[in-house]
Structure 1
Amino acid sequence: MTEDKQKMSLTKRVLLGMFAGIATGFIIRTFFSDISFVNDYIVHGIFDVGGAIFVASLKMLVVPLIFVSLVCGTSSLKDITTLGRLGGKTVAIYLATTAIAITLAIFTANIFQPGVGADLSAASSFQSSDAPSLGSVIINMFPTNPINSMAQGNTLQIIVFAVLFGIAVSSAGKAGVRIASFFADLNEVIMKLVVMLMNIAPYGVFFLMAKLFTEIGLEAIGNLLGYFLVLSGTLVLHGFVTYGVFFKVFTGLNPLIFLKKMETAITFAFSTASSSATIPVTLETATKHMGVKNKIASFTVPLGATVNMDGTAIMQGVATVFIAQAFNIDLTLGDYAAVILTATLASVGTAGVPGVGLIMLAMVLNQVGLPVEGIAMIMGVDRLLDMIRTAVNITGDSVVTCIVAKSEGEMDVDVFNDPKAGDKEEELHLHTLGGEYSQPDKADSSV
């Protein structure tokens, strides 16, 4: 029985759960939407509870995984100046891909013109929170209470504290060696937790998709079909072409192998619509399946989940052009340049702020004098598009992780090229718990 189960890979099981959930959601919406028992006990009962527990379990691992893996990675650096080089290189590539993303979005939106003929006269008002200044974001990166930062899930503050703590461990002599050994063991245990969670993922993904697609009406997509197709098409184009070219040029490796190994992480991101919640899976994919050393991935993946906003930048570019066309407002080349610059810098300036996508879009619209009320009209399809944006974002995180690791000589190419790399680590055999490391019998001790 166990061997039969193992014939289907984790990726296939997760994909099966996702498509089964989507089909179940559409069936319930089409044939059983008026039955109160189905809505109350299945959709808002089993599906809602199961999906919420799955997402909560993912988020449960984010803070300990970021802190422990980053301490392990930082403390293992022989030269601390390497950290500055890593940080500068990572942020520079993230900003470059974001600038390309929004440029591509503006280009495609102007070619296909999804907003021409759209009626936004009934647009309701939309209120967006004010975006913090870049200076305040930098100041707030440094925690006054690290425990409170962990409790609140403030990723940037956790990263800063973990890096400082790791540097202290690496310079603490024998005491540091003991602490580093403890964190290395702790990291292995947490990664086992990730594997445990990934093995129940097909059920969690099923619950999430089933509930979502009982609530999504196709009429919302129909009313904004041009916007939906242009935005989703641009996201897919950026995810495959831009990242594929970047990956091939800067690593020399096969981008098709990369995309194949990203299937599970992309499915998680699509299902949860959260880059932060997907961090455990992205990190596991980068290290176990692609051969990136933990000292690199533990830094680039959490940072990317916070500041890499390529998918959101594409949404801003398409939405800006769409709203301008719908309100019959002409944008100049200077306006487009301002959109590109504002969105690229805002991807860092609004990092970690709740509702970051809408805040960034409101900032861009205000920058070029477009009515913010236009946001209200595109929110009907934003939930589904957000799932695609998140999948693009975590793909970008992994591309940059591989590029940085390859440039630093911290990537095992043999692991990357091995199609079965990491599969063994994803297998979970709870019945062997304690068996592998149990003490030998007396009869065997003399052998």
Structure 2
Amino acid sequence: MARSRKEKLQGCIRMNLLTILTVFGTLGGLIFGIILRSSKSEAWTQREIMYIAFPGNLFLNILKGLILPLIISSIVSAIGSLDLSLSGKIGAKAICYYLCTTVLAVILGIIMCVTIRPGKDYDVGEVEDLKGRRNVTTVDTLLDLVSDGKIGVRILVGCIEGVHLGEAKRNLTLFDWKMDDDQDNLFVTGSNTLGMVVFSVVMGITLAKMKVEGRALLAFFDSLSAAMLMMTSWVIWVSPLGVFFLIAGKIIEMKSLSQLAGQLGWYFSTVMLGLTIHGFVVLPTLFIVATRRLPFRFIFNLAEACTTAFGTGSSNATLPVSMKCLEEKNNVDTRVSKFMMPIGATINMDGTALYEAVAALFIAQVRNVQLSLGQILAVSVTATMASIGAAGIPQAGLVTMVMVLDTVGLDSKDVTIILAVDWLLDRFRTTVNVLGDALGAGIVDHLSKGELARMTENAEELSDVEEHLMQPVGNKDNMALT
């Protein structure tokens, strides 16, 4: 018995090793930062802080380097792998569900953050000043979503550089506004995230429509996606060390630790409230509207899957348990569960989308950066698309979070502000991700009873024809004589 308990304990530690190391990295960084902070009577210089945070900044740079290949390969592979023959109507319903729930999650996160304002009234103090930022108007940001500037800009340049359109004139009314031909375009270092995502989505749809002709290229993106997933998992295992130095540097840099702790508490509460509302109000409401039945028993039967999701922090690791709960306890058709759950674990990340929207706005509030309506719209679009490209592994949302910050011009290093509580929020948002996938499978299964029945009939007819054709010729002659 003692040995059995020891084996269970070892298994639990192995399963949660990354989380345990991240917690130790967070606590160690806090303690180390406080010790260094109190070791000097005068303030630390920016250069000294840079030296301490250098390993953490190196970790962030590695994450940023993974964004382009990870997002492109994941989106193209996930969308290109859709079986359009099965998903004529069934797949359309699944994609509509994924898109609607993700957009609702992002909108809910933005509303929560704008209403509660967890990062308000922050005393910037010694924190890095953003006075070099350009004042981007709502019109500029909206135009940035669909334009790389002047016609003829090379696609490659558009992938590696972002562009902001310059202002035409100041103090113009809505009716006499016009764009000057000689306006200045500001190219900034970093990827054109939205253009990259749109290209990936269109490429995935194209490969799905091409079927046989597109298999070679799709196989390349599948392999690239698998390779990037493996590389990302390696980098994520380094995160405890990166978190240690990033938090230590941030502790030294902050002027008021108590105020930062209070704001992190508000941030944590905002994300948790948003996840609770989305997971146990929005998604069940959609289930009730679509199926005309209460979701309580359905959700109760998913308890094992939700527990596994919280324990592992991985949507992919929860897949076998989720599919078992759907098929054996909730009687969801195996064709629906096997189609929706793997795809959902890749592209349907409601909890991650909500978290990224809240985190981006929270960091902007902490930095006292006023985001325009267009920039908030950019956050919503990017958070939606970034959640599609987020790998279903623990803390992968941290990678795409850097991309969301880059979209609205926030420093990716500011992600260190939320690292202290990210390891715990990752478990809760993964649980919401899995719950959303499972409820979506239940909804699509209910709405697709007719299509599934016809598919079964067609399969049986085809099986009968094949069985008849496979009969020996002599048997056919004997049957004809009788």
Normalized against structure 1, the TM-score is what?
0.55
List per-residue Cα deviations over 1:248-295 (Å, max 9, x = no partner).
Answer: 001112122222112111111111110110001110111111110101
Kindly tell me: are residues 150 and 99 of structure 1, through their superposed partners in 2, closer, same or farther at Cα, counting changes over 3 Å? closer
Matched, 1:52 2:14: yes
Matched, 1:112 2:120: no
Match among 404, 424, 431 for residue 384 of structure 1: 424
List per-residue Cα deviations over 1:200-231 (Å, max 9, x = no partner).
Answer: xxxxxxxxxxxxxxxxxxx9976611101111
Deviation at 1:355, TM superposition (A): 5.8
Alignment of 1:41-440 (within 5 A): 47=9, 49-52=11-14, 81-118=85-122, 133=197, 135=199, 138=204, 142-144=218-220, 224-350=264-390, 356-409=396-449
- Aligned 8 A contact 1:308 1:347 in 2: yes
> What is the identity, as a one-letter code, of the residue corresponding to 2:13?
G
- Aligned 8 A contact 2:109 2:355 in 1: yes
List per-residue Cα deviations over 1:297-345 (Å, max 9, x = no partner).
Answer: 0010111011111111111111112111111111122222221122222
- Aligned 8 A contact 2:288 2:295 in 1: yes
Deviation at 1:361, TM superposition (A): 2.0
**C-alpha distance in 2 between matches for 1:87 and 1:319:** 31
> What is the identity, as a one-letter code, of the residue corresponding to 2:333?
K
Deviation at 1:372, TM superposition (A): 2.0
List per-residue Cα deviations over 1:134-155 (Å, max 9, x = no partner).
Answer: 5457379822598x78986979
- Aligned 8 A contact 1:248 1:255 in 2: yes
Alignment coverage as a number of residue pairs: 284
**C-alpha distance in 1 between matches for 2:388 and 2:111:** 23
> What is the identity, as a one-letter code, of the residue corresponding to 1:52?
R
Greater displacement, 297-306 / 316-325 = 316-325
Quote the residue 1:426 is aligned against.
none
> What is the identity, as a one-letter code, of the residue corresponding to 1:105?
G
**C-alpha distance in 2 between matches for 1:145 and 1:363:** 21
> What is the identity, as a one-letter code, of the residue corresponding to 2:283?
Y
Q: Report the RMSD for the aligned CA atoms in angstroms.
A: 4.0
- Aligned 8 A contact 1:113 1:322 in 2: yes
- Aligned 8 A contact 1:270 1:388 in 2: yes
Deviation at 1:369, TM superposition (A): 2.1
List per-residue Cα deviations over 1:380-417 (Å, max 9, x = no partner).
Answer: 100100000000000000111011110111799xxxxx
Greater displacement, 298-307 / 323-332 = 323-332
**C-alpha distance in 1 between matches for 2:298 and 2:261:** 31
Greater displacement, 274-283 / 324-333 = 324-333
Kindly tell me: are residues 145 and 376 of structure 1, through their superposed partners in 2, closer, same or farther at Cα, counting changes over 3 Å? closer
**C-alpha distance in 2 between matches for 1:46 and 1:255:** 33
List per-residue Cα deviations over 1:76-131 (Å, max 9, x = no partner).
Answer: x9xx834333222212210110000010011011111110134676779xxx9997
**C-alpha distance in 2 between matches for 1:322 and 1:151:** 32
Give 5+ residue unaligned stretches, structure 2.
Answer: 19-80, 129-189, 208-215, 231-257, 453-482
Corresponding residue SS for 2:345: helix
Percent identity reads 34
Kindly tell me: are residues 149 and 359 of structure 1, through their superposed partners in 2, closer, same or farther at Cα, counting changes over 3 Å? closer
> What is the identity, as a one-letter code, of the residue corresponding to 2:88?
G
> What is the identity, as a one-letter code, of the residue corresponding to 1:380?
A
- Aligned 8 A contact 2:316 2:393 in 1: no
**C-alpha distance in 2 between matches for 1:84 and 1:134:** 22
Deviation at 1:244, TM superposition (A): 1.0
- Aligned 8 A contact 2:344 2:437 in 1: yes
**C-alpha distance in 2 between matches for 1:286 and 1:351:** 22
**C-alpha distance in 2 between matches for 1:285 and 1:221:** 39
Kindly tell me: are residues 145 and 398 of structure 1, through their superposed partners in 2, closer, same or farther at Cα, counting changes over 3 Å? closer
**C-alpha distance in 2 between matches for 1:389 and 1:408:** 28
Normalized against structure 2, the TM-score is what?
0.51
Kindly tell me: are residues 223 and 92 of structure 1, through their superposed partners in 2, closer, same or farther at Cα, counting changes over 3 Å? same
**C-alpha distance in 2 between matches for 1:297 and 1:122:** 52
**C-alpha distance in 2 between matches for 1:123 and 1:282:** 44
- Aligned 8 A contact 1:405 1:411 in 2: no
**C-alpha distance in 2 between matches for 1:273 and 1:352:** 9
> What is the identity, as a one-letter code, of the residue corresponding to 2:325?
T
> What is the identity, as a one-letter code, of the residue corresponding to 1:375?
V
